[in-house]
Structure 1
Amino acid sequence: MGDFRLGKCASNKLQKTLEDRISLLPEEILTRIVSFLTLKEAGRTSVVSKALKNAWTYVPELDFNGLAALREMGDNNYRKGLEIERPKFVKWVNKVLDSHHKPSELNSFRICIDLNYSFQDDLDKWV
């Protein structure tokens, strides 16, 4: 089979059809929609529409599960992975909290990862 390419007219029509209608919605509605999503889902919406680029910053429930990703590495690599990934995980949590619209108004905040005393300042800041 050969390559199928749209002609210029068909391409322009398709582009008009794919117009970003989500961006036309009021910010209050976008925020409400995103509030029903998990942080991961809300983050994925940023590629759907320009208006949703920062909508994840309004998610009212933050759930950071670093243990799930580390467990997938297996028991042998868990400790090694933890030492490498723990600082990255803490940095990511800090970045999300710094970017969040109103972290003081979160409905829930959960972090699952083994932390040691070297992360005490971060823990204090989160709580």
Structure 2
Amino acid sequence: MDVLSSRFLLKPADPAVTTAFYRDVLGLAVYREFPVGTVFFLGGGLLEIVGSGEQGRTADVALWLQVRDLDTEVATLRERGVVFDREPRREPWGLDEAWLSDPDGTRIVLVQIPADHPLRVDVRTP
């Protein structure tokens, strides 16, 4: 499989509310807008808010968003009225995480990778 691009699609109960959340509260940059949806940048990926959903939330889906400075992002989001589902903390696997939910209850995991974490180790052979 030769994947050229990818995006995660969300079909919210209220597209306007969910789009406003990702744009105005999280502050994600808009990649593209079209009559039935909005696509946001997610670092190396894309998030598309499109149509209306009927199934509701599931605990089986989460957005994992790596940030440079977790404390700064948490403070900014608190100023914008976000209530966190789980406060920032170091997880047993060594990542610093804070959890929140979008208007439909989709879990969003904000992640900072500590400088000494194995994910930051250069595994290339010299």
TM-score exceeds 0.5 = no
What TM-score does the superposition give when structure 1 sets the normalisation length?
A: 0.23
Larger Rg, first or second structure (1 or 2): 1
| Greater per-residue helix proportion | 1
What TM-score does the superposition give when structure 2 sets the normalisation length?
A: 0.23
